[in-house]
Amino acid sequence: MLALAAALGLVMGVVVGGLGGGGGVLTVPALVYVLGQSAQDATTSSVIIVGITAAVGAVARIKGGGVDWRNGIALGVVGIPAAYLGTLLNRHVSQPVLLLAFAALTIVAAVAMLLHARRDPEPAPPDDPDTSSPGAGVVAVRTRPARSALLFTAAKVVACGAAVGFLTGFLGVGGGFLVVPALVIVLRMPMSLAVGTSLLVIVLNSMSSVVSRFGGMHLDLHVVAPFTIAAVLGTLIGKRVADRLSGATLTRYFAVMLVAVGLFVGVQSLVAL
């Protein structure tokens, strides 16, 4: 059991370190279908494993400027109360329903990533401040669009943070499989920066979810400890692999992994109904 948990943890760590998410997507099914935990116990174990692993991955990326601190902290802070609410709901949902919701969300996130990768929209070029005279009228005209854009971006950050936080608590995942698509598609962040930022959000959401689970927490340390240690080593390996790949390649790998896991969990859950 120890060796199996460590092997699974190593795989999960490589995925988290390389793709900035997907750790919970792999960890929850592994704990349920391979290591025999219930869905509720698996979601609790997963939050702890993925949170610690993501913290190591985020630290490893800080040096190279691979973390957008402003958006990452904003998403994480907004997600804290939402993660608490998701955790409360988790305790009142049956295992098949919980896993079916998990499977559906992974597939939706994967399809969104693939569609975005095919369109590959270019960000709008910034306004050139030198094309107009610095008169008062010009400043007034440009201030309104700038404020509107700022408010729109803030609204997107709040919506994404709340959704990811809630699902972190409800599904017991770090939220990276939703954070990465949100950062890339909604906030139009480059994949390489989204990976590191996602790890920061995962850490904050996982901390909130763990705190909300105190009192009803059941952990099998014979599984969680080797799984976590191996995952930490794996995330450092995953970072090295990701550094050699393009953003488009990382996006495709991320989406394919989500589809595979979502289909597997979905089929297993339907059979269990």
What digits encode the pLDDT tens for the residues 65-75?
788 888 889 98
Q: Given this model, what pLDDT does residue 22 score?
A: 63
Q: What number is the average pLDDT over the span 137-148?
A: 56
Alpha-carbon distance of 263 to 25, in angstroms, equals: 12
Q: Given this model, what pLDDT does residue 230 score?
A: 92
Q: What number is the average pLDDT over the span 169-180?
A: 71
pTM for this predicted structure: 0.71
Please check the confidence at residue 229 and state whether its pLDDT lies above 90.
yes
Residue 224 and residue 49 in contact, taking contact as beta carbons nearer than 8 Å = yes
Q: What number is the average pLDDT over the span 119-133?
A: 45
As a whole number, the mean pLDDT across the chain is 78
Please check the confidence at residue 122 and state whether its pLDDT lies above 50.
no
Q: Given this model, what pLDDT does residue 172 score?
A: 63
Contacts with 234 (C-beta within 8 Å, 6 or more apart), sequence order: 9, 10, 11, 12, 13, 14, 15, 16, 17, 53
What's the Cα-to-Cα distance from 89 to each of 33, 102, 182, 218, rounded to whole Å?
22, 14, 23, 17
Please check the confidence at residue 27 and state whether its pLDDT lies above 90.
no
Alpha-carbon distance of 236 to 246, in angstroms, equals: 18
